[in-house]
A and B are shown apart, each in its own frame.
Chain A
């Protein structure tokens, strides 16, 4: 029972690695709450988009995670 987390851009530096596996949790709120404090504060911010299995999550408050999901944290893209 696990989730794969993917951290893009500068979030990979804060997380210490671009990917990790964690024990499954039921919601995005529980996932973010379980991250270490600095990462949790950044990853849970409004500017970070979240994709589950390659689809952007429209409303993270009501999204239910399933075993095996890949959850990606996407900071604003770099532009120029």
Chain B
């Protein structure tokens, strides 16, 4: 089972990545994917993601292993941007290939909740009045607690 886990410092082409994932997982019965982007509405002018090298990628690799242990997936893709992004830019792409759809959909949902609420990323966004650090929200903890 091949998982592909990457931290990326420059923009990526989500369509190209999902196509490649699909051709690397030809035996799958289905593929689910989620693409997260910098919201183009709400007054955000730019988003900057920082990470801590010794923890962030190893944490993502651990998350991929957890998802693989939990669901019957045949392939998993976790891509996450760091650095400076503009509204509309892709931030995160998660895809799972499985024999049956529920495993693929659940693995993507699980990985996204943990990438957002439990991975080593810090975000700040630039609005008209300057830069603001984004604090964790109650919803992020609630999302994580869904998985026990």
B65 at the interface (CB under 8 A from A): no
User: Shortest beta-carbon distance, A38 to chain B, in Å?
Assistant: 15
Proximity bits, B100-137, A CB within 8 Å = 1, else 0: 00000000000000001111111110000000011111
Residues of A within 8 A of B136 (CB): 76-80
Interface residues on B, range: 20 to 34
Interface residues of A in 1-26 (CB under 8 A from B): 6, 8-10, 12-13
Residues of A within 8 A of B50 (CB): 8-9, 12
Q: Tally chain A residues at the interface, Cβ within 8 Å.
A: 19
B interface, CB within 8 angstroms of A: 50, 52, 54-55, 58, 116-124, 133-137, 139-140
Contact A80–B52 (Cβ < 8 Å): no
From B54, B124, B137, B139, A51 is in contact (CB under 8 Å) with: B54
Q: How far is the CA of A51 from the CA of B53 in the complex (A)?
A: 12
Q: How far is the CA of A9 from the CA of B123 in the complex (A)?
A: 7
29 contacts between A and B (CB under 8 A): A6-B52, A9-B133, A10-B124, A12-B50, A51-B52, A51-B55, A53-B54, A54-B55, A54-B58, A56-B55, A72-B54, A72-B55, A74-B52, A74-B120, A75-B122, A76-B136, A77-B117, A77-B119, A77-B122, A78-B122, A78-B123, A78-B133, A78-B136, A79-B134, A79-B136, A79-B137, A79-B139, A79-B140, A80-B136
User: Shortest beta-carbon distance, B18 to chain A, in Å?
Assistant: 23
From A10, A12, A74, A80, B116 is in contact (CB under 8 Å) with: A80
Q: How far is the CA of A76 from the CA of B134 in the complex (A)?
A: 10
* Most chain B beta-carbon contacts within 10 A, residue among A6, A8, A12: A8
